[in-house]
Structure 1
C-alpha cells in the first residue's frame, strides 16, 4: 500500500537531536506514512543513526548525499516521495503523536490544497527550557486563494506562515508545477517556496492545533548566523515572490490596495539585512560591507521600500540619500549609530 503522507527530514549535524525527532515521527498514531531522512553530508554520527532506524523500521528511507544545504536536501526528498501529501520536519525539532492523524482527518473532511497548522516555539538556554510560545491561527478556517491574497498580510501577522513545516502540502501540486526549494537562498527559503506553492492552490485550511515543536537556542544569535554576501539577493527574491503572489490576479488594482501593508511587511526584511552588516563588524571585511550596501543601492525592491518610507522616517531618508550618492562609508557609520550596541 502506498504511503498516505511522506515526511521529509534533512539531517546535518543533528546527533544530539535526531533520536527525539525520528522517534516522534515513528510513534505517530497514524501509521500509513514513509519517513525520508536526507543525510546532507553530515560529518557527525547522524547519518549512521539514520541507517540504524532504517534497519528497524521499513517505513524509513535514508538518502545519503554530499552537503548542499537544507533546500538541496529537501529537494532530494521531494524527488523520491511517494505519499499523497508531504510534510517537512527539521532534524532538531519534533512533532506531537497525533500530528499525522489530525492532518489526515482534515484532508478527509475538507477539500483543500494545503493545511496550515499551529506550532509551539520551545526556547532553550544551555539545554534548559525557558518558555514555550504558541504560534498559529485561533480557530479553524477554510478560505479561498482569493481571500488569502486579499488579506494576506493579516494572515501573515496572525499565523506567521514562513516555515514550510507549518504546512501539509499536496504532492501532486508540487510535482505537476515542478516546485522545488531555491537552493541558492539562505534567508527566507521556506517562505519563497510556500508562496510559489500557494500560487497554485485554490483552497487553504487553517487549523489551531499546535502539532509541531520548534526548538530555538536562546544562546545563539540567529541573525549573526546569516553572514552571507548575497543576502540582498535573497531578500529581493522572496519579495518578488510575495509581490507576485499578492498581485497575481490584478497587477495594478491589487498593488494599490495592498501597497502600504506590503511595504510595512517587507521593511523588516531589509532592516534585518542592515543589522546583519553591523553584527559582523569584527569578522567581515569592510569591502564586503560596502559590497552589500552597493547591492542595496541597486536593488529595485529596496528602492521601492525606501521611496515609500524615506519621507516619513528620518533614518531611512538619510540612508537613502547616502546610498544614492554612493557614500558607503557614511552609510555604514549611520548604521553603526542606529543599530550597534
Structure 2
C-alpha cells in the first residue's frame, strides 16, 4: 500500500491531551501519512507543542491561524491535504496503533469510498464499547448508498461524526464544513455520504472518543440547538433525494427536539422567555400528522409525541417515571455497553 493518508487535527485549548493524540497518529503501523496540525489560535501552549512535533518528524505539518472554530480549522486543513485518503482526528481523542492500517486494507480490498470503525467511549479509568450496534469479532459490513443513508439518518451503526472514518479525499474537497455552528458534522455528513457507493463498517474499535467530565446539562447553551437546525437542513435534503427515508428523518428530528426541549427546561436561564421551547413546540404541532405517521410502529416514541402534543410536561413526567422503573429493573437488564477497565493516559 503506497497511498498517503492525510490526518487532519484541529487544535484549540487541548495542551493536556495533545501529546497523546499526535503520538497515537505518528506511532501508527501504517507509516505513509501526513499529519496536518491546525493551531486554531489556541491561547495555551498548543501551538508550541505542534511546532515541536513538526521539527522532529517530517510527516508533520503545522499551521497557525486566527481562531475560527472547528469547522474553519478542518476546512483549512483540507486545503493543505495532499493524500489520496483523509482522516479527521479530534485533538483530545486518539487512535489505536493499527487503526489506519486496518482501515486502509479494507478500503482498498473492497474498493470502497469510506470506512468507519467501531470506537471506544474513553473515560479516565475505563472504556465503554457499544454492544448494541457493534460486535467486536464480527465480520465487516458492506453498505450500498441506499442502506448507508438509512443508517446515517438513524445514527446508530453509521455515525454522523466526521472522525472515526477514512475517506477518499476526492469526495470531500468541495464540501466544506459549515462555519459558526455546533454539531457541524450533522450539516456535513449527508452531503458526503450522498456521493458514496460503497461504505464499510469495521466492528473492531480503532478510535478512542474521549469523554470529558463536563456535563451537557450544566454547560448547555442555546448554541446546542444548532443540531436541530442541522437536522432540518438534512431533512430538506432527504425529502429531495431519498423519499423512502423521510419518515426515518422525521423520527430523528422528533427525538432530538424532545431531548432539547427538556434540556432547555432544565436550563431555563438560557431560555428565560421560553422562546426556544415555543419554537420546538410549534414545529411539533405544525408537523404533528407527519410525525405521528412516522412513529406509528414505534409505540414508545409515538406515545411521547402524543403526550407532548397535549402538554410538554406530560411527556416529561412520563420520562421521569420510566427512569425510575429502569433503575428498579437495572439488575435484570443485559448490559448495553461493555465496560473495560483501562486507565487512560491524560498527557504525554
Instruction: Specify the TM-score bucket, using the shorter chain as the normaliser.
Output: 0.7 to 0.9
1:278 is aligned, of 248, 252, 265, to 265
Residue 109 of structure 1 corresponds to which residue in structure 2?
109
Cα displacement (A) at 1:278: 2.3
Whole-Å separation in 2 of the counterparts to 1:76 and 1:203:
27
Alignment of 1:108-147 (within 5 A): 108-124=108-124, 129-134=125-130, 137-138=134-135, 139-147=139-147
Alignment of 1:31-46 (within 5 A): 31-46=31-46
Change (3 A) 1:38 1:298: farther
Residue 295 of structure 1 corresponds to which residue in structure 2?
279
Question: Is 1:169 matched with 2:155?
Answer: no
Contact preservation (8 Å) 1:75, 1:180: yes
The CA deviation string for residues 245-292 of structure 1, in whole angstroms up to 9 with x for no partner, is 47625x3xx15xx51x433332221123212312323x43613xx231
Cα displacement (A) at 1:216: 0.4
The CA deviation string for residues 73-125 of structure 1, in whole angstroms up to 9 with x for no partner, is 1111111111111101111111011111111111221111111111111123x
2:231 is aligned, of 222, 238, 257, to 238
Q: Which ranges in structure 2 are unaligned for 5 or more consecutive residues?
A: 293-300, 324-348
Residue 208 of structure 2 corresponds to which residue in structure 1?
213
Q: Which ranges in structure 1 are unaligned for 5 or more consecutive residues?
A: 320-330
Change (3 A) 1:234 1:311: closer
Residue 8 of structure 1 corresponds to which residue in structure 2?
8
Alignment of 1:1-341 (within 5 A): 4-124=4-124, 129-134=125-130, 137-138=134-135, 139-149=139-149, 156-157=155-156, 159-175=157-173, 178-186=174-182, 188-217=183-212, 219-228=213-222, 231-232=224-225, 234-242=227-235, 244-245=237-238, 248-249=241-242, 251=243, 254-255=244-245, 259=247, 261-281=248-268, 283-284=269-270, 286-287=272-273, 290-296=274-280, 299=283, 303-304=286-287, 308-309=291-292, 312-313=303-304, 314-319=306-311
Contact preservation (8 Å) 1:199, 1:245: no
Cα displacement (A) at 1:336: 8.0
Change (3 A) 1:277 1:306: farther
Residue 323 of structure 1 corresponds to which residue in structure 2?
none
Structure-2-length-normalised TM-score = 0.78
Runs of 4+ aligned residues of structure 1 deviating over 6 Å after TM superposition are 333-341
Contact preservation (8 Å) 2:151, 2:158: no
Whole-Å separation in 2 of the counterparts to 1:311 and 1:32:
50
The CA deviation string for residues 153-178 of structure 1, in whole angstroms up to 9 with x for no partner, is 56x33x25121112111111112xx1
Structure with greater contact order relative to length (CA < 8 Å, sep ≥ 6): 2
Whole-Å separation in 2 of the counterparts to 1:302 and 1:211:
42
Change (3 A) 1:271 1:166: same
RMSD (Å) for aligned C-alpha atoms: 3.0
What SS class does the counterpart of residue 270 from structure 2 fall into? coil
Change (3 A) 1:38 1:303: farther
Whole-Å separation in 1 of the counterparts to 2:167 and 2:239:
20
Whole-Å separation in 1 of the counterparts to 2:271 and 2:159:
35
Change (3 A) 1:305 1:117: farther
Structure-1-length-normalised TM-score = 0.79
